[in-house]
Amino acid sequence: MKVSSDVYDVSMMIEAIKEVQAVLNAKKYGTFSELDAEVAKTLNPYAPYGDGFERFRMSLTKDAASSSDLQKSCTQMNLLCERRIEDCECSQKDQINDILPFIRNTSRIIVHGSGKLLALAIACSIQEHEGVRFFICEGRPSRKSCPNGSGEALLESILETPEGLRLKDKIREYCVIIPDSGVASIMNNVDFIIMGAYCVTEHGGLVHSTGSFQVATVACSRNVPCYVLCETFKFSHIFPLGTEDLEQPAESTSVVPLVEFVPPSMISLIFSEKGIMPPSAVADEMFRFHTAPLAAWKNK
């Protein structure tokens, strides 16, 4: 199964929506099929990054298909794009506001990943909760995007956030990079795990970088909750049963995979812009805008 192995965030969805807006305003369309084909063509390059882009297309065009006034529908679609951009710009704040009540001043938390959403969540937590400690997994083996490991990349992203710039000394005091091999030795001393995501599968499993499965396995054996921060556009129509079902990126040359699968049984909660949900609720969220995985536009 082909999955994205890049670290990306909601800014990619905003970029895609703005490209769709440019298509809507480019010319007057004679038929809905012509309009739909152009929108589909615009979103097609984003298909590897999750099915959220296809669901966006379906929600955008579902009313226009039955409308007798195509130009009016284009205007309404533009308004929907504007609202979606506003929602996207607020989505990270919503996710962080959801997870902050789970964090206390005395919390000890293991973090695995390098996304900007994780970085912002950590920076806001340190700002709101004096004394909280984050143990950041070093994230080896390194990749072209993270030559020193995902842990160093995450720490740099934390320091680049507005909160991180103000709290630089506290960030370095409260965030410690730990070797991946040391996760088990400190698991009994932490309150929960926070991980990012490349994507979340339809049955609630996690696709993420090397080390995710190890961290989740140790956490599960110690009854430590494992939380995932992930936008809903990363929810994907795939059902891997294990890491061996995932296609590895081209730069993967060692016996250690660069992309791993974590079963839904090891995930406690998923924090998305739509709220807090258990892994079993992912399919319900995706079926709200159900689309066929083999839709014709994806094959063009």
CB-based contact 95:120 (threshold 8 Å): no
Q: Which residues lie across from 112 on neighbouring strands?
A: 195
pLDDT on residue 5: 63
Using only C-alpha atoms, the chain has a radius of gyration, in whole angstroms, of 20
**Taking the domains of the chain in order of start, what are their residue ranges?**
10-89, 95-286
pTM to 2 decimals?
Answer: 0.84
pLDDT tens digits along 26-43: 888 888 888 888 888 998
CATH superfamily placement of domain 95-286: Translation initiation factor eif-2b; domain 2 (3.40.50.10470)
65 vs 234, higher pLDDT: 234
Cis, peptide link before residue 179, omega less than 30° from 0: no
* DSSP letter for each residue of 185-248: HHGGG-SEEEE--SEEETTS-EEEETTHHHHHHHHHHTT--EEEE--GGGEES---SSGGGSPP
296 vs 21, higher pLDDT: 21
300, pLDDT greater than 60: no
Q: Both tokens of residue 251? A: 């730069």
Least confident of 36-45, 205-214, 288-297: 288-297
